[in-house]
Structure 1
Amino acid sequence: MKKSSIAILFLLLGMLCLPVYGWLYLNYGHPPVAVADPSFPMEAQIVHKPLSHRISKEMPAASPVPIHEETLTAGAGVYMKQCAFCHGVPGATSKVGEQMFPDAPQLWEKHRGGAVVGVSDDPVGATYWRVKNGIRLTGMPSYVKVLSDTEMWEVSNLLSVANKPMSADVQKILTQTGN
């Protein structure tokens, strides 16, 4: 055999071995599947970047539901029934959300040097997309069959202004216990 034929043979064998190794690793190895396990190598590049691009491509440009006292109050009610368990409330983080992998974002906590509260720096359409579609392998469910479109927009609008002062009625709903 010529050297070029041997090189091609080794190249083909190498290309065949890689998928076989991947299959063996996933089926008989120990990939990180527990919450306490470290991330996969390159997990952020494999998961987060495509997610960001998809949200940017598919998110609605603006909310069809206006932001005013009535819709914020309605959004607070939706939040307390559907979101607070994992994402916390003003002044109290969720112990459950902190034990997820990745951690469920605490949507009333300040971050980025205290300049941002929750997802208030994200476009409201991005938050709506996450509520509507969910995010695989994060614990974030799709609410498309649970909430009406208006309810999804109301809670998304509420979170978009989480960095601003809330009315007493909205604050009262968001700080109630026993929901």
Structure 2
Amino acid sequence: MKGFLIGLIVGLLLVPIGAVFYFHFGHPPVAVADPSFPMEQQVVHVPLNARIDAEAPKNAPIEPSPVNLQAGALIYRQQCAACHGLYPTASSFGGSMYPDAPQLWSPHGHGVVGVSDDPPGETFWKVDNGIRLTGMPSFRKILNPTQEWQVSLLLANADKPLPSDTLYLLQQPLYAQVTPPSSGSASATPAATTEGAK
């Protein structure tokens, strides 16, 4: 019995000591080009999804009106497009991040465009809180809650027809100085035009 207890104690001590040696002298995957750590995505996604399920707002306090969608498009251009792409152009470096920055105007499976299949509250949570070790910042101190909802509602409607002035803002080159056109009556569906640009 005494030998068993000694062995158990030694074994318990070896685990943290081995971990310290591995992270200090080994080659843990810290570079983007490194292969994934075993179970890395599961370790991250399980608590992330649980946190979002518990905290994400269930209802948006504003409507996806043309005014809010246009405001969301302006915010998206300024804060999101460099990593997440424009309509229908993918980001030049979003795919070289780890994990890849989702291209939010690219269709993927069953007509879904970007995160249009996620509830707006889930996108709002991600915009507001950010996600550690992904490159996704928290915009809580950059945007006010209304602005966060405007961009979240824009992305929730990425698979639906958008007002022409909103679409115009999303189609212009990233670093172009743009102002919305005054008309804004017609609409077009991102999924229809982005299919070939994926």
TM-score bucket (shorter structure): over 0.9
Residue aligning to 1:41: 38
Compute the TM-score of the two structures, normalised by the length of structure 2: 0.86
Residue identity in the other structure for 2:145 = D
- Say what the alpha-carbon RMSD is for the aligned residues: 0.9
Structure 1, unaligned runs of 5 or more:
none
Residues 1:169 and 2:140 aligned together: no
Q: Which residue of 2 is the match for residue 89 of structure 1?
A: 86
Aligned to 2:67: 70
1:149 to 132, 145, 149: 145
The offset of 1:114, in angstroms, is 4.2
| Counterpart for residue 14 of structure 2 | 17
Q: Does 1:31 align with 2:28?
A: yes
Q: Tell me, in whole angstroms, the C-alpha distance in 2 between the residues paired with 1:115 and 1:21.
A: 48
- Structure 2: 5+ residue stretches without partners: 177-198
> Size of the alignment, in residue pairs?
175
2:4 pairs, out of 2, 7, 10, with 7
- After superposition, the C-alpha distances for 1:146-176 in whole angstroms (9 at most, x for unaligned) are 0111100000000001010111101100011
For 1:84 and 1:63, how far apart are their aligned partners in 2?
23
Deviation at 1:86, TM superposition (A): 0.2
1:56 Cα deviation (Å)?
0.8
C-alpha displacement of 1:115: 2.2
Residue in structure 1 matched with residue 131 of structure 2 by the alignment = 135
Runs of 4 or more consecutive aligned structure 1 residues displaced over 4 Å after TM superposition = none
Q: Distance in 2 between matches of 1:151 and 1:170?
A: 15
**Secondary structure, in 3 states, of the residue corresponding to 2:61?**
coil
What TM-score comes out, normalization by structure 1 length? 0.95
Q: CA deviation at 1:105?
A: 0.4
